[in-house]
Structure 1
Amino acid sequence: MEKEILHSDEELMLRVQKGDMQAFEVLYDRYNKRLFHFILRFVRERNLAEDILQEAFLRIFKKRKSYRKTAHFSTYLFTIGRNLCLDALKTWEKRHIFYDQENYVKKAMDLSKQPPEKLEDTEMSEIVQREIHTLPRDLREILLLNKYSELSYEEIARIVESTPAAVKQKAYRAMVSLRRKLKKL
């Protein structure tokens, strides 16, 4: 398995097309955490994020025969993840109007049990996450893909169907807006 890690993502995906399950496992191991964190920050609900993560990799596997090496594998994967997030949010938000209130109370109870120094870190992280989610969706999405998923502007441009220059500008605007919001607190 050690040799497998030396292959590029695209080479591994071409091997997956031929039915190589070890190659698929290597891709899963390389990307499941990064994609999960992106999805979780996007949808802000762990169970939903886990479902979307599984669905993304399931789609990769089901559609392996139609994969074409036209872009980085990570671009292909994060595009699928992004689209699944957008679809899930449309239906999930309609069904869970009252869930947020219940979840908020549960989170508050859990936080009250933590030591003060950890509570400050957790509170700051939650404040930053809350402020990120007040950004317009296009800015928030680019910020999450760039800063948290560590994708390049070129990869993000392919995912959101834009130009690298426009993505770079939106990433800058997102950071400026976030800094402004956090300074007000």
Structure 2
Amino acid sequence: MAQDHRHMEELFTRIQRGEKQAFDQLYLRYFDNLKQFAQHYVKREESADELVSELFVQVWLRRGALHEIHNPTRYLYQSVKNGCLTYLKKENRHTRVSLDEVDPANLQVAITASPEQLLEYKELLTLLEEAVDLMPDQRRTVFRMVKEDRLKCREVAELLGLSVRTVENQVYRAVKQLNEVVESYFDAGNANQGRASRFFFLVI
């Protein structure tokens, strides 16, 4: 968590210095997740795309002030949320949103480097990514924000307008769902049970 935060701060520092490569890294890392987040509010993909694109334009144009931002990841999400609410007001839409989503597990696996185990890992990771894609919208979104973007449950709750308990429950259910995928994979004989313990999934 602290390492991710430091990495984001370093990216913002480099962007402030005008490093286009750092800006490109930020864009590739966050665009899809922010777009998905925006779609919970504005519903239309093209509108979400425009709002997130505008945010990145502003980040680059106002890069000289990035040193004032203490939590870059939260800043990105909060900026998108503010943009969405402004958009909804202009469109005279109701701003109350029902959320339920998030994407592939930011799961890490400790395995040996043998070709057979690597193949098993890739097969299992594909199944896990598919399982995340099939999660309810709110669960998938919450899970991605917590596990991929390393936001705290409290921060996610504030951004999505949910209670902390709801966010924690969604993360728990997502993890439980993915654990079931892992168990089913091994129970189906796709890998030797003796090696199952070598797969250590960091889901929290």
Give the alignment's TM-score, normalised by structure 2. Answer: 0.49
Alignment map for 1:27-176 (pairs within 5 Å): 27-68=26-67, 70-93=69-92, 146-150=142-146, 151-156=151-156, 160=159, 167-169=163-165, 171=167
User: Which deviations, in whole Å up to 9, do the C-alpha atoms of 1:119-172 show, x marking residues without a partner?
Assistant: xxxxxx7xx56xx7xxxxxxxxxx786345333224336x65x9xxx8414536
Deviation at 1:9, TM superposition (A): 1.4
> Structure 1 residues 172, 13: CA separation in 2 closer, same or farther (over 3 Å shift)?
closer
Distance 1:64 1:75, change over 3 A: same
Identity, in percent, stands at 25
For 1:8, what is the secondary structure of its paired residue? helix
The code of the aligned residue for 1:156 comes to V
Q: Is the 8 A contact 1:60 1:77 kept in 2?
A: no
**Structure 1 residue 48: deviation in Å?**
0.7
Q: C-alpha separation between the residues in 1 aligned to 2:19 and 2:142?
A: 31
The one-letter code of the counterpart of 1:152 is K
Paired position in structure 2 for 1:117: none
Query: Counting helix residues as a fraction of each chain, which structure ranks higher?
Result: 1
Q: TM-score, normalising length from structure 1?
A: 0.54
Tell me, which stretches of 5 or more residues in structure 1 are unaligned?
1-6, 95-124, 133-142, 176-185
Change (3 A) 1:49 1:34: same
- The alignment's C-alpha RMSD in Å is 3.4
* 3-state SS, counterpart of residue 68 of structure 1: helix
